[in-house]
Amino acid sequence: MKIAHELPGRIRFRALSSYDSRLHAEFAQSLRDTVAGVSGVRSNPVARSLIVHHDGRTETRRSLVRAIANTPPAPRPRILETSPTARHLRRTAVSALTFAVGLLLPPAWRAGLTLAVVAPSLAKGANALLSRGLCVEVLDSTALGISMLRGDYAAAAATVTLLNLGEYFEATTSRSSTELLRRMLAEPPDSAWVEAGDGTLIEVPADKVRKEDIVVVGPGDMIPVDGQVISGSATVNEASITGESVPSDREAGALVLAGGVVEDGRLCIRAVRVGNATTTARIAKFIESTLDAKPAIQSSAERLADQRIFFTLVLGALTFAATRDLNRLASVFLVDYSCALKLGAPVAIKSALYRGAQANILIKGGLGIEALADVDTIVFDKTGTLTHSSLEVTDVVPINGVWTHGRLLALLASLEEHATHPVAEAIVQEARRNSLDHIHHDDVDFIVAHGLVSEVNGRRVVVGSRHFLEDHEQIAFGPFEAVSERLIAEGKTLLYAAADGTPAGVVGLRDHARSDAGATLARLRRLGIRHLVLLTGDRAEKARALAEELGLDMVFAEKRPEEKADVVRDLQARGHRVAFVGDGVNDAPALVAADVGIAMPRGADLARATADVVLLRDEIAGVAESRALAASTIGLIRSNFRWAVGLNTLLFIAAATGYASPVVSAFIHNGVTIGTLVRAVIGPRRVRRDDVRDSGSRRHDARASA
């Protein structure tokens, strides 16, 4: 590709071949998503032209040219095929031209020309009748046939023009809503540069990178893993993952996400999550699953739409029986509820999923939206949800002289770095702050909701809760009760360690209520949530203190994982629709049991895998945002339903009484359908944050989430 012409903020590139893959719409979209500052891309394969609009910054131009230069011009043989929307637009143009020219032609010529344009719609209706029975295509083709039989060729040409125009807008809107989601799927890199044992770099397939590998990423390269920068500095664009359009600087200690693009600089990254475990892969999995899930409200809308076809048929028959007017019959047949009802719900849901993803909220399809909108009770885990996920180590207390303070902390950090729970991360970060070396150990066995076991220099090391060490491992900490009681009285979380059956140490950690927890809970009440519940495995004293601070309604403390699920099921048995918010492996049973499971971003992989909603930003406010988005989306679908049914019913009356001709019926009906789709794409209006749902009704707050 070469630069054919350039103005400030605008560059026109020209390819050597019209089959260059960089002229494809997918590449144009990738430029918008991955190059910060690009505001628009338009391609014309026939002219071999790619036009890019940008913010005029030198850095943007450099990144744009680099992105194009680093993309191979692989041939795309099918690139020039006409899309369905283009075919609809072409048919609309042909039928409109037929209508205009037909007014100037003799009747015989006008009849032949109109029949040629109407014939595909007549054939489509006949095929639909044979394959699917009565449907909207049958009614449309019948109305066109009536106009042709009456010799009203102008009405037939105008009607088919409006029908084709309606199909064009429907196809465009439906495709756009799906592409809104698909455009967030970042294409992963094919290969990665990994540091070998001797410090040299070797290129390996991206899917062969393993955890703890050191990956080197240079200018223009896409980051293949979620990881931590261990050396180097660079400007990284993560617009395709986080939605943040401004590139940010990354240096040693910072976290980076797969799918981010290094614009300038060079990074050495320790891989933390690879392959299907990366943030980008999880987003892709979520989005792919949303394209198939169909909520009950959508199925209900489709059933009602199908039923209305028979209503149209019956009304048309009654109209003709009473008036013997074929014109009125054609007008009635051109009015139906099907398009607006069937397309409005899926388009609104896909648009909501896209807006949620832009706000760093992933929802598993329409089923998740519908369930979340119907929730009246939200149950919160404590650590990592209502309290900040970043704990701090306050006390490291060696016992029995097994290890020193530094040795104990270094050993625990070496074992816990394989876990993702906030307790583990706090210990690892404390060891790094103290520049403690890694201690070699054997494989780590994780015991869900209890702790871990490993071998270190021939000694069996057990780390976990006191319950785990005393009841399961028979290691008594009774002689050190004073230490435990003091730390617990100070409101600290304790982690116990033992070696070869002997107590070795206790670590105290402290968490704090999130700064936005109170405001989020208050907003959830305004959004119609009646019961806010704290459910934790933590001690009752700490749980009650937090509940009192935040104004929660119920507290369930000192619960094991299976008991958490029992609490959720008990609330459901009382008639509540329950959402559970958690982040750990021990939360997975409750996440599955709840009507809606919501996982925090720093939680365990199992928690994210079992959740219906995953927050990508470590902010509890995302729970309220997801509820607002779901409620407003379902409210919009219901509003669209009432709007479409009401206007089409009025049109039915006008058509049956002779006040609406076939052309007017087709025009207004398609206008209603297009208006419904536009409302679905744009989304609901914002309302005041203090709007409250009436407790005696099922109305949902209509506030949109941005």
Which residue numbers are catalytic?
A: 381
Phi and psi torsions of 383, nearest 5°: -70, 125
The phi and psi torsions of 284 (rounded to 5 degrees) equal -60, -40
Q: Is 21 within 8 Å of 56 (Cβ atoms)?
A: no
Tokens of 656: 């049956």
Beta strand residue intervals within 586-702, DSSP E: 596-599, 613-615
Could you give the strand order of the β-sheet that contains 493-499, starting from the edge strand earlier in sequence?
392-398, 502-510, 493-499, 459-464, 451-456, 445-447
Q: 606, 420 in Cβ contact below 8 A?
A: no
Q: Is 420:605 a contact under the CB 8 Å cutoff? A: yes
Backbone angles phi, psi at 44, to 5 degrees: -135, 95
User: Cβ–Cβ contacts within 10 Å for residue 679, how many?
Assistant: 22
Q: Which residues contact 250 (CB under 8 A, 6 or more apart)?
A: 229, 233, 234, 235, 236, 256, 267
Number of residues in the chain: 706
Instruction: Classify burial at 264, counting beta carbons within 10 Å of its beta carbon; exposed 0-12, middle 13-18, buried 19 or more.
Output: middle
Measuring CA to CA, which residue among 447, 379, 385 is closest to residue 422?
385
User: Which among 412, 432, 410, 424 has a CA at the least distance from the CA of 498?
Assistant: 412
Buried b (16+ CB within 10 A) or exposed e, 415-428: bbbbbbbbbbbbbb
Residue 74 sits at φ, ψ, to 5 deg, of -60, 140
Q: What are phi and psi of 66, to 5 degrees?
A: -65, -45
